[in-house]
Structure 1
Amino acid sequence: MHSTDIRVFIPSKDFAQSQQFYQALGFSKESVNDELCLFTCGECTFFLQNTYQQDFAENLMMQLIVTDINAAYQQIVNMGDLARKYQAIKNEPWGKVVYLWGPAGELWHITQLLA
């Protein structure tokens, strides 16, 4: 098997709000149909789906690797009310990370890895 990509399907509690959240975070949106959007930032892509299951959403975690954690953190701060829950930059053994919770409870580990 030769694979070229892997994409997660992220749930949304409020489809419109989640779309706004991810666009404010810096992703561009392409509508697939009324229930599904494809979001892209650089080489990274994921699907946002208009479905919600609380247990799944609140246990879903993704890691987004960035080259500049300070710029990523400023992007999050600039989101205002759309970024309701996040933590300041933390030093972890693998690099620097900002923990950001999405509108459905999904947790993003926005990480700048150690060089």
Structure 2
Amino acid sequence: MQVDDIRVFVPCKNYQQSCDFYQALGFNVEPASGDLSIATSGECSLFLQRYYKKEFAENLMLQVCVLNINEAFNTISKLTHFDIRFEGIKQEPWGKVIYLWGPSGELLHITELN
């Protein structure tokens, strides 16, 4: 088996709010069906689904690798109208990271790798 891509399905507590949140992060969000959207940035994409299970959403973690962590932090800092929380940039042995909890409780590791 040769894998070409792996995409995660992110559960959405409030589907429209999640679509708006990922779009504000810089993703292009397009509907795929009435209950599913594809959020794309460059060659990377994920699915936003009109489905929510609290236990799953609050245990879902995504690593989102970026080229410039400071630019990412500036973008995230402006998202005050969303029900999210985030921590400042942290230096780790493997790079820098911002921990960002999305509107459904999913944890995004916004990462600039060394």
TM-score, structure 2 as length reference: 0.96
Cα offset for 1:79? 1.8
1:43 is matched by which residue type in structure 2?
Answer: E
- 2:63 maps to what in 1? 63
TM-score, structure 1 as length reference: 0.96
Does the 8 A contact of 1:91 with 1:97 survive in 2?
A: yes
Superposed CA offset, 1:34-66 (max 9, x none): 100000011110000000000000000000011
Cα offset for 1:81? 2.0
- Distance in 2 of aligned mates of 1:32 and 1:63: 23
Matched, 1:73 2:97: no
Q: Output aligned runs, 1:100-115, within 5 Å.
A: 100-114=100-114
Percent of aligned positions that are identical: 52
Q: Output aligned runs, 1:7-86, within 5 Å.
A: 7-82=7-82, 84-86=84-86
SS of residue paired to 1:88: coil
SS of residue paired to 2:16: helix
Q: Which moved more, 1:72-81 or 1:30-39?
A: 72-81
Unpaired stretches in structure 1, ≥5 consecutive residues: none
**Where has structure 1 moved over 4 Å in runs of 4 or more?**
none
- Distance in 2 of aligned mates of 1:79 and 1:51: 23
- 1:99 maps to what in 2? 99
1:105 is matched by which residue type in structure 2?
Answer: G
2:71 is matched by which residue type in structure 1?
Answer: A
